Amino acid sequence: MPSAPFSPDSLPLRDIHLPPAISWWPPAPGWWLLLLGLFLLIVALYTIHQRRQRKQLKKRALFELDELQRQYSEFENPKQLLKGLSRLLRKSAILHFPQNNCAGLVGEGWLCFLDQQLEDQPFSQGPGRLLAEGPYLSQIEQVDTEALLVLCRRWLQQLPPAPKPQGRRR
């Protein structure tokens, strides 16, 4: 065996060639998947939030109805109850049926609109009739408040989910 040491200069070696530096663009496929996952997560959270808000409209309306009922049992003012019920039903109708232009309905037209959501016609031919003229009467003699509150609760419970917002109007 030869024992002569090799010198690096005598070996036929070339310099080491390093690969080019890794560029930041385009990102690796994992980053694209992460970005897609984040986008889908944001869309899903936004959709869930919108659905919850639309469902809460009905819950808020029923809570307001309970509050009106509590105020009536405390003060026994039928005129105030009729005003509150009329305002609550109109607000709920505008939120749940924006395409029907129900904000401008009054009198028989308003009662017929309310009847469309129920099988029978309890607003135009039943206890709900007071909602059209009751708030404007100076003296209210006889009001079946229990039937009226039950009717309003039934109408609010049968509301469909509120539609998606159509964007902001200017």
Tell the burial category of 143 from Cβ atoms under 10 Å away from its Cβ (0-12, 13-18, 19+).
middle
In this prediction, residue 101 carries a pLDDT of: 81
DSSP assignment of 118-152 equals SSS-TTTSSGGGHHHHGGG-S------HHHHHHHH
In this prediction, residue 170 carries a pLDDT of: 46
| pLDDT less than 70: residues of the chain | 1-5, 165-170
In this prediction, residue 97 carries a pLDDT of: 87
In this prediction, residue 65 carries a pLDDT of: 97
Tell the burial category of 106 from Cβ atoms under 10 Å away from its Cβ (0-12, 13-18, 19+).
exposed
